[in-house]
Structure 1
Amino acid sequence: MQLASQQFYLIFRYLYHMDKLSAVIITLNEERNIRRCIESLIGVADEVIVLDSLSTDTTKAICSEYDFVRFEERKWEGYSSSKNFANSLSSFSYIFSIDADEAVSTELKTAILHEKNQGFSGIYTVNRKTNYCGTWIHHSGWYPDYKVRIFPKDQTKWVGEYVHEELEFSAPFQEKLLSGDLHHYSYYDYTDHRTRADKYSLLTARKMNARGKKAGIFKPYLSALGRFISMYLIKRGFLDGYAGWKIATISAQSNIFKYKELRRLNKKDA
């Protein structure tokens, strides 16, 4: 009788996709990264949903090489809108949200498969480790870097559009940290870092201005100094070598840019 009940439960879980996992990725011109990401998901995800914002490189061609990848195209409408739409395309009840420039490590893969075999429940946090211009970063405020990435499709949505979107849950879930790292291949050169950091700073300045935030004349430089000291000294970025120096320096420079832009927007509104 007990064996029959267990078999019924297993069949029930299979039919209702309780132990299957949909990996969801949003892309735009990710030919440099997307193959590594997809390959790392083999054996982990039961399907991969790629929502592409009309790439002009070979992203689509690379994705078409994998029969378990569903490639969809849609005009860019913001981070949260794109991720929520991509989630809606998934077939299974649990989603693994992963960026194109990320890859599942061997240890993390083992941890995910263990939970998958036990039956997913609650939400799962991963520890993201960044490869910066060829160097793995272990300090500088970049590691550990905890992110909720595996979660139930229902009662979950992405919110926020300006810089960093966040997950919002309509019900309380127990959170579990998975062992292993999610490898993040962030920047291939320092120019790329500075360009993207300034982009985020610009978006943040607009967000702050919309919320009525103000910046005094000395704010850009005091903020930059504080950021450098925090990342390089307090968060031990110096232990990351030259990469740690560049991370702290570029972050400080972008802080100057952010608050100068906020001051410009303040004056424009005035």
Structure 2
Amino acid sequence: MVSLSVVIITFNEEANIGRCLVALGGVGDEVLVVDSFSTDRTVEICQQHGARVVQNAFAGYVEQKNFATAEAQFDHVLQLDADEVLTDALRAEINQVKASWQHAGYTMPRLTSYCGHWVRHGGWYPDRKLRLYDRRRGRWVGLLVHERYELDAGASAGALRADLLHYSYYSVEQHVNQLNKYTSLAVAELRLRGKTRVSWAQLVLKPLWKFSHGYFIRLGFLDGFAGLCIASLSAWSVFLRLAKLKTNSLPPAA
């Protein structure tokens, strides 16, 4: 059986981190929390649950997750976010993998709670994430947003069946605030990629397509109010990102 490090990055996660740590249920042979100098009780809660805490200034999600992976005691790593929780079934599957590790990494389906509703449509499920991996055979990649773990060329990935629970947004207000933050990061990333042109057709049609695709084609309407909020705010995020990019590209007023 391989030894496993559970790795979590945090910043002001006192509302979530305790639930995440309790649900580990001994699946990890080490629990490492890399904290970005939280100003709330995050570090205190982690220490109460027996986690090893290392503080490191946040330079980006990719950089922080690669730092945390490198700081782990063991080569086999389960990386979680503070707002994610292992189910009993997922813990059992991970323990089975530990007993007979066969792939470079393993994906798992993520089931998201939105304002208290578990979302199963609209493109939000199964939302597979590669979170269980051998750090010698991959790395975290990406620019400013949408970081992901990428395995080396030719490395195989297995697929777990049990859900990883994700407690995303507790209110619509929280969702809106996060969209403002992440669309600004997305614009910065687009500019780094050299993408600065936005047409009027894109401003109108892309948000409409985003809503229609999530709400109708991907059956978001089956999630009721949560599905409507997700489809509407997803469309809004597309518009906001394009509008910010276009505004940043306009010449200054005379």
Shared fold, TM over 0.5: yes
Question: How many Å separate the matches in 2 of 1:143 and 1:113?
Answer: 24
Q: TM-score, normalised on structure 2?
A: 0.94
Spell out the pairing of 1:65-104 with structure 2 (5 A cutoff): 65-67=48-50, 69-104=51-86
Deviations, residues 28-68 of structure 1 (Å, cap 9, x unaligned): 0000100111111122111111000010110011011122x
Equivalent AA in structure 1 for residue 124 of structure 2: W
Secondary structure at the counterpart of residue 140 of structure 1? coil
Equivalent AA in structure 1 for residue 83 of structure 2: D
Alpha-carbon RMSD? 1.5
Q: Which residue of 2 aligns with 1:241?
A: 224
Q: Which residue of 2 aligns with 1:260?
A: 243
Deviations, residues 144-193 of structure 1 (Å, cap 9, x unaligned): 11111111021321122311112233342221111210000000000111
Segment drifting more, 168-177 vs 86-95 = 168-177
Question: Contact between 1:155 and 1:169, CA under 8 Å: does it hold in 2?
Answer: yes
Secondary structure at the counterpart of residue 141 of structure 1? coil
1:64 and 2:43 aligned: no
Equivalent AA in structure 2 for residue 93 of structure 1: D
Question: Contact between 1:220 and 1:258, CA under 8 Å: does it hold in 2?
Answer: no
Q: Which residue of 2 aligns with 1:6?
A: none
Q: CA deviation at 1:120?
A: 5.1
Q: 1:175 aligns with which of 140, 149, 157?
A: 157
Q: Which residue of 2 aligns with 1:209?
A: 191
Secondary structure at the counterpart of residue 95 of structure 1? strand
Larger Rg: 1
Spell out the pairing of 1:153-168 with structure 2 (5 A cutoff): 153-168=135-150
Q: Which runs of 5+ in 1 are unaligned?
A: 1-17
Question: Contact between 1:209 and 1:266, CA under 8 Å: does it hold in 2?
Answer: no
Q: Which residue of 2 aligns with 1:27?
A: 10
Deviations, residues 188-207 of structure 1 (Å, cap 9, x unaligned): 00011111122222211222
Question: How many Å separate the matches in 2 of 1:30 and 1:99?
Answer: 10
Identity rate, percent: 40
1:54 and 2:37 aligned: yes
1:198 and 2:180 aligned: yes
Deviations, residues 100-152 of structure 1 (Å, cap 9, x unaligned): 00000111111111111223532100000000010000001100111111110
Question: How many Å separate the matches in 1 of 2:76 and 2:206?
Answer: 41
Question: Contact between 1:19 and 1:120, CA under 8 Å: does it hold in 2?
Answer: no
Question: How many Å separate the matches in 2 of 1:163 and 1:207?
Answer: 8
Question: How many Å separate the matches in 2 of 1:51 and 1:227?
Answer: 35
Deviations, residues 207-253 of structure 1 (Å, cap 9, x unaligned): 22332321112322211111100110000000000100000111111
Secondary structure at the counterpart of residue 109 of structure 2? strand
Aligned residues: 251
